[in-house]
Structure 1
Amino acid sequence: MSSTDPVSMPDGLSPEEVGLVRDHLKEVITSRAFGGSKRAQDFLQLIVEHALAGRFDSLRERMIGAEMFGRPIDYDTSNDAVVRVKATEVRRKLAQYYQESGKKPAVRIELPIGSYVPKFQWESLEASAQPSVETESPAIAKETPAPVASEEMPKAEIHEPPRLSGEKSRVLVGVLLGLGLIAIIGYAGFKSWFKDSDGGREIRSIAILPLENLSGDSGQDYFADGITEELTADLGQVSALRVISRTSAMTYKGTKKTLPEIARELGVGAIVEGSVVREGNQVRITVQLIDARTDDHIWAHNYVRDLTSVLALQGEVAQAIADEISINVTPQEQARLARASPVNREAHDLYLQGIYLLNQGDPKSAVGYLQKAIDEDPSYARAHAALANGYGWMGEAGWLAYTEAFPRQKSEATKAIELDHSLPQGHAELANAVMNLSWDWTNAEKELQRALELNSNLASVHTTYAFYLQRLGRLPEAIAEVKQVLDLDPVSSRSFYSAGIVYYFARQYDRALSQLQRAHVLEPHPPNFLFPFESGVIYAQKGMYGKAVGEFQKLGDQPHALGHMGNVYARMERVSEARGTIVKLEEHVKKNGIGRYEIALVYAGLGEKDEAFTWLEKSYDARDKGLTYLKIDPCMDPLRSDPRFGRLVRRVGLPL
C-alpha cells in the first residue's frame, strides 16, 4: 500500500501526527534491521496503514493472511501460522531497530503480543497526552488457540467491532471483493509471486535446525532432537534437494546467530525451524520455512497427531516442505514419504533415546535402549537399523570383538531391510557388515549404492562409501565422496575427521592434518579417540615420531593406539618399548579377541617379516577388520615386496 493513499484520520491523531508516523515508518522499514526482509517491511507497512486509516477489521489474522499472503478468506488459521510467525518476526525486528538506532523518535511503533493493531507511543510530553491508535481500536482477538513456538499469543478480550457506515463500509466491501479475487487466484499465485519477486531463484538446498523442546524439561531433549533427525532423514529422500546433515544442523542448537548467518555458513537457500512437544498421547509439531537469503517466512504450519502416527507425520511434513519450495519429488519418493506404519509409542520413545545416545558418542548405552525398543516392537525397522549401527560402531572402535560385533550388525541390518526394503540406513549398515565380516566387496558396493539411491543426502553413507573405495585403492573416487560429505555436513567435526582419514590413506599427509585441525577447532574436546589417534598416525608418517607417541599415549592401552605406537617405537629403534606393546596386545587378544593386526604392525616396523606374516595369518583366520586396510596401509610398506603380501591381499578379496 502506498503511503500517499488518501485515508481517513483515526480519532485522536491529527494529519501532522499521521505524517510523523509515516515518516518514522519509512525510517524503520529502510533500516538495517528490516533491510534484508521485504516481507517484514510489507507486513509492518500494511498494518500501520490500516491502523492509520481506521480499518481495524482488516487487522485480523484471516484478513491479513488473505491480503498479504494470498490465503483464502476462510483458511484454517489453526494449521497455518504464517501471520503469527510474521508478526513475531516484525516484533523482533522492531526491538532490534530501537536497540540499534540509539535515537529517540517523536513516535515509536510497537506491535503488542496478542494483537495485530500497532501501537504508537509518543515521546514528547505534549504528544504523550494524545491517545494511541490502539486505544481507539477494538482489541483484536487471536483467531486460533494453536500455540506457535516463536510467539506466545495470549487470549485477548473480544469486543464487538465498531459499526461502519458510509465511506468506511464501502471501503470494506471493496476489500472483501478484492479478497474474494485473491481466493479465486489461489495460493499457487502467491507462490509464483514469491519466486518472481527475487529474480526467480529457486530453493535447492535446505537445513532443518534443531526443533525446540517446548516441554520445559531438558530431559525431553532427546525427543525433540530425535524428531529433528527423523524429519531430516525423511526430507533427504528428495533427491532434487540438498539437505544438510543433522550433525551440522545440531551445532546451531541454542545459537544466537541470525538465520542468514547460519544459511551462509551452511550454504543453503532455506531454513526450517520450529518446535515439538508431547501432550499426553499426542505430539504437536510447529514448523516454519524461511527464505534464508532474506529472513522472510515463506510458510508455517501446526501439526497435531497421535504418537502412533508420528512416522507418517514426519513424511507429511517433509512432503509439505517440498511442495512449498516447488521442488520436484518423483513418484517413488512420494510413495516412500507417504508410506509409514503405525508405531508402538513405547518402542518409539526407546528408539529416540537410543539414537540420542548414539549421537552423543555412547553406542554402548545406546544398544541397550535400542534392544528394548525392538523387544517392545520387533517389527520396528528403524530400531533394527540403529541397533546395527551401534554394534558396527563398537566393532570399528575395538570396544567389542569383531567376531561378535559384525555378525550382530549384519543380523540387525538384514532384519531392518526385511521389514522395510526402502530404509537406506538398513542397506548402509548391511554394506558395512559384509565389508568387515565377509569381505564381500561386490555386495557391499551394491548395498551402498542402493542406500544412496534411497537417500543421497545421508552424509554418513557417503562416508562409509568413501572408506569402502579407499580400501580398494580407488582413492580419487574416495576423495570425491568425502567432498560430498563436506558439502552435506559442512560444520561437523566428524566430516573433517572422515576427510582426514581419506587423505591419510591417499598419503596426502599435510592435507590430512589440515582437515584434522579443522575438526579440532569445531570440537576441541571430542568424546572419543578420533583426534589423538588420527593425529598420531599422521605425525608418524610425517616422521614426527615424538609427537606421534605423545598422541598415542593419550589413549592408554587402546589396541589400535598400542599397535601404531609400537610401530613408531620400532622406527625410532626403541626396540624394547616396541616389544612391550606386543606383550600388552597379546593380552588383548586373549581377553577380547582384538589386536592381532596391530601386533603385525609392530613386527612390520621391527623388520621381522616372518613374525609379521604369522600374525597377519592369525588376523585372516579371525576375520580381523584391520586386514581390510591391508592394500593401502602405509605401515605395511616394509612387507609389500614379499610375495606373501600380494597373495594375502587377493585372499582378502582386494585388487592388487
Structure 2
Amino acid sequence: MPTIDPFSKPGELDPERIELIRGHLKDVISSPAFAGSRRAQDFLQLIVEHALAGRFDSLRERMIGAEMFGRPIGYDTANDAVVRVKATEVRKKLAQYYQESVKPLGIRIELPIGSYVPRFHVESWEKLSGLPSESPPVASGQQGTIGEEEPSYAAGESARRTLRGSVGIVAGMVLIVAIGFIGFKVWSKKASAKPEVHAIAILPLQNLSGDPRQEYFADGMTEELIADLGQVSLLRVISRTSVMSYKGTKKTLPEIGRELGVDAIVEGSVLREGNEVRITAQLIDAKTDQHIWARSYVRDLTSVLALQGEVAQTIADEISINVTPQEQARLTRPRPVSEEAQDLYLLGIHLLNSGDPRRASNYLQEAIDKDPNYAPAHAALANAYGWLGEAGWLPYAAAFPRQKAEATKAIEIDDALPEGHIELANAVMDLSWDWTTCERELKRTLELNPNSASTHSTYSSYLLRVGRLHEAIEETKRDLELDPVSSRSFMRAGFIYYYARQYDEAEAQLQRSTALEPSPAEVLFPLAVIHEEKGMYQEAIDGFQKLGDQPHALGHMGNAYARAGRVAEAHDMISKLQGHVEKDGVGRYEIALVYAGLGDKDGAFGWLEKAFAAHDKGLTYLKIDPCMDPLRSDPRFQDLVRRVGFPS
C-alpha cells in the first residue's frame, strides 16, 4: 500500500491540498455513515474548518461546547461530557465511512483520541495512479472447469434450457435491482441537493441578552453581516432597511421570502457575555422552510467585526456561490478594534439609522478618540456630517469639508471599506462639484459592494444631476430590487421620477412608501414638490408649512406662492430665507427659486450668482430642477451650467 504522509499543521498545507480536504469533507458528511446525524456533520465541519484556518484555540473542549452546543464560556466540562460524547460518535462514523469506501482514498481525516484537533492525510495523485485496479469481470461465454466429462446431447439440451432459464431469472433480478439502485441514487441525489441560491436576506439577529439596551449591538451585528455578504458580487443581498422591517414579525419564512424575492434566509441570534460574543446563524431555504446549515461562533469583542466576514464566507461556501480572490481577501482582512471604540461606533450607527445624525456624530467622534485608526467610525462620521449638510441643519461650509476629511481618512486606513468611498463621492459632489471624482468613487464603492442599495441610490442621484435620466432610472430600479419593502427606497424613487418630470409615477412611488410606513415625515417634502409641479399649489403649500422653518421648504413654498399669484406671501418667504443666509449661510439657491417663480429673472440670476460664489449645494440640481425651467432659455443660465462644471 502506498505511503501516506500526514499533515496536521495548516502552514504545511498548500491551498490546493486545503481545497482537496474541503472537497473530501463534503463527501464525508454527505455519506450514509453521517446521514441522519446533523450534529455529527456540524461537529466534523466545525473542527476541520477551525484547523484549516489555524484557529487551534477554538478547538479546546470548553470553546467547542460554547460555540456548538450553546454552553456558557466557563461551563464545567468535568460534569458535562457533551463534546466528548459527540467526538466519540464522529470518530466511529469516520471509521465506518472509510471502512465502507469501495475505492482506496488519497485523503483521510482522523480525529485522534484525546484531542479535538483533526489530522489530515493527503496522498499525491501520482501515488494514487499507481494503485492496482479492480479485477476485470469474467467475460461472457467463458468456459467453466476444464476436464469435465461432456454430457449426452439430450441431457445437455435440458441442462442448457435450465441454465438459460436460471440465467434469465437472475438477469431479470439483476436488472430490477440495478434499476432500483439507479432510481434510488437519482432520488437520493435530488433529495440531498442543496437549493440554488442567488438572492438572500439576513433577518435581524435576535438579542438573547434579555437587556433591551443591547438591541443596538444585535442590530449592529446584523448590519455588519449584511455589508460583508453584500461584497459577494454573484449574490443579491437584501438591504438593511428592508430586512429590519421584519424585526419581531410573526410572518413565516416562506412569506418573507416571497415578499423579498429571495431564495434563502439567514436568521440567528447574538449573546454578549462580558468581553465575549456568541453569534448563532442558520441558513434556511426560503421556499420550503428547510434547514440548510447552522453554526455558532464564539469570539472576543475585539475580533467580532472580522467574524462577520468569516460568517459571510461560510454562507457563500454553503450555497456554492463563487467568491473571487479579491472578495475573499477583503472578507478575511484583519479588522482589530478596541472594545470601547466598537461600542461607541455601534451606538452611533444606531442613532444614524434612527434619523439623528447630530447625536450620532458625538458617539462616532468619541469612538475615533478611543481608536483613531477605526476606519468604519470615520466613514460613519462622514455620513453624519453629510446628512447634516444636506438637510440644512449645519452650514454647508462646515458640513461638507468635514465629510470629505473623514471619508478621506477612512480610505487611508482601509481602502477596501465601501462606506469611505461613497462618503467621499457625496462630499466632492456637494463641496467642490468634482463630478469626475464623484463617479469614480461611486464605481469603486459598487465594485467593493455591488449590493449596497444606498450606493445605487446615490449613483442614481449623480446620474440624474448630470442629466443622464435613463441611466438614473435604471439605477433606481436596482435600488428597489435590493431594498424592496423599505419606505425610504420608494421615497428616493419618488424624487428620481420627480426630477425626470414623471410626476404621476413619482406620486405612485410615494404612495407605496406611505403604504409601508403610514405618513412618514420624510415623504412630506417630495410629495409637496410634486403637487407644486402639478399645479396643486394649495396642497403643496400645506405640505411645506408642516415642515416648519427649514430653508428647503421655505424656498419651494415661496415658489408655490409666487406661481399661485400670492406675491406678498412669496416675498415673506424671501425675507425669512435672508435671515437663514445671515445666520448659517443656507438659503441663497432657495431665494433664487422664489424669484424664478415670480418671473423676476434678474433677481433670480443675482441670487444664483451669490449661490455660485458660496458653492451652494443647490446648484448641483441646476440642470434638472423643474423650478428653474423659466430661466433655461436665458443665455446666463447656460453660462452658469458651464461654470458649475457638469460633464457633457
TM-score after normalising by structure 2? 0.75
Q: 1:261-410 to 2 correspondence within 5 Å?
A: 261-410=255-404
SS at match of 1:257: coil
CA gap 1:450/1:145 in 2 versus in 1, 3 angstroms: closer
Equivalence for 1:611: 603
Kindly report which structure 2 residues correspond to 1:638-653, keeping only aligned pairs within 5 A, or say none.
Answer: 638-653=630-645
Output the CA distance in 1 between the equivalents of 2:254 and 2:371.
42
Identity of aligned residues (%): 66
- The equivalences for 1:87-166 within 5 A come to 144=65
Matching residue of 2:541: 549
Residues 400 and 194 of structure 1: is their aligned pair in 2 closer, same or farther, counting only changes over 3 Å? farther
- Equivalent residues of 2:306, 2:335 under 8 A apart: yes
- The 3-state SS of whatever aligns with 2:283 is strand
Q: Which residue of 2 aligns with 1:487?
A: 481
Q: In the alignment, what sits opposite 2:35? A: 67
What amino acid maps onto 2:569 in structure 1? E
Which of 598, 612, 617 is 1:620 aligned to?
612
1:124-165: CA deviation from partner (whole Å, max 9, x where unpaired): xxxxxxxxxxxxxxxxxxx9565779xxxx99xx999xxxxx
Partner of 2:248: 254
Deviations 1:310-369 (CA, angstroms, capped at 9, x unpaired): 122111111000010010000000000000231111000000000111111111110000
Cα shift at 1:555 = 0.6
* Corresponding position of 2:233: 239
Is 1:522 aligned to 2:516, yes or no? yes
The separation in 2 between residues aligned to 1:227 and 1:65, in whole angstroms, is 36
Is the 2:203–2:244 contact (alpha carbons within 8 Å) kept by the matching residues of 1?
A: yes
Q: What does residue 95 of structure 1 align with? A: none
Q: Secondary structure of the equivalent of 1:301?
A: strand
Partner of 2:131: none
1:509 to 503, 506, 511: 503
Evaluate the alpha carbon distance shift between residue 180 and residue 621 of structure 1 in structure 2; reply closer, same or farther with a 3 A threshold: farther
How far 1:296 moved relative to its partner?
0.6
Q: CA separation of 1:644/1:181 partners in 2, compared to 1, >3 Å: closer, same or farther?
A: farther
Equivalent pair of 2:383/2:403 in contact (CA under 8 Å): yes
- Computing the radius of gyration from Cα coordinates, the structure with the larger value is 2
Contact 2:67–2:278 (CA<8 Å) still a contact in 1? no
Which amino acid counterpart does residue 266 of structure 1 have in structure 2? L
SS of 2:43's partner is coil
The residue identity in structure 2 corresponding to 1:67 is: A
Instruction: Flag the 1:599–1:374 CA change in 2: closer, same or farther, 3 A.
Output: same
The question of whether the paired residues in 2 share the 8 Å contact of 1:70 and 1:182 is answered with: no
Letter in 1 for 2:207: N
- State yes or no: 1:563 paired with 2:555: yes
2:216 counterpart of 1:222:
yes
- Per-residue CA deviations over 1:389-427 (Å, capped at 9, x if unaligned) read 010011111111111110000000000000001111111
CA contact (8 A) 2:457 2:475 kept: yes
Gaps of 5+ in 2: 1-29, 49-63, 82-91, 110-185
Q: Tell me the residue number matched to 2:626.
A: 634
Which of 577, 591, 599 is matched with 1:599 structurally? 591
Tell me how far 1:64 sits from its aligned partner.
Answer: 11
Q: CA offsets per residue over residues 157-209 of structure 1, 9 Å max, x none?
A: x999xxxxxxxxxxxx999846965998999xxxx999843887511110100
Separation in structure 2 between the aligned mates of residue 509 and residue 373 of structure 1, nearest angstrom:
43
2:496 counterpart letter in structure 1: V
| Partner SS for 2:34 | helix
CA displacement at 1:523 relative to structure 2? 1.3
- Aligned residue for 1:590, secondary structure, equals helix
After superposition, the Cα gap between the structure-2 partners of 1:290 and 1:194, relative to the gap in structure 1 and judged at 3 Å, is: farther
Contact 1:649 1:655 in 2 (8 A): no
The aligned amino acid for 1:434 is: V
Distance 1:73 1:632 in 2: 59
Change (3 A) 1:159 1:502: closer
Measure, in 2, the Cα distance between the counterparts of 1:195 and 1:464: 45
Residues 483-519 of structure 1 deviation map (CA, whole Å, 9 limit, x = unaligned): 0000000001111011001000000000000001111
Cα offset, 1:524, TM superposition: 1.5
Number of corresponding residues? 516
RMSD over aligned Cα atoms: 3.3
Structure 2 CA distance for aligned equivalents of residues 589 and 517 of structure 1: 34
Secondary structure at 2:511's aligned position in 1?
Answer: helix
Task: Please give the secondary structure, in 2, of the residue aligned with 1:272.
Answer: strand
Q: Structure 1 residues 299 and 174, CA, compared in 2 at 3 Å: closer, same or farther?
A: closer
- Which residue of 2 is the match for residue 108 of structure 1? none
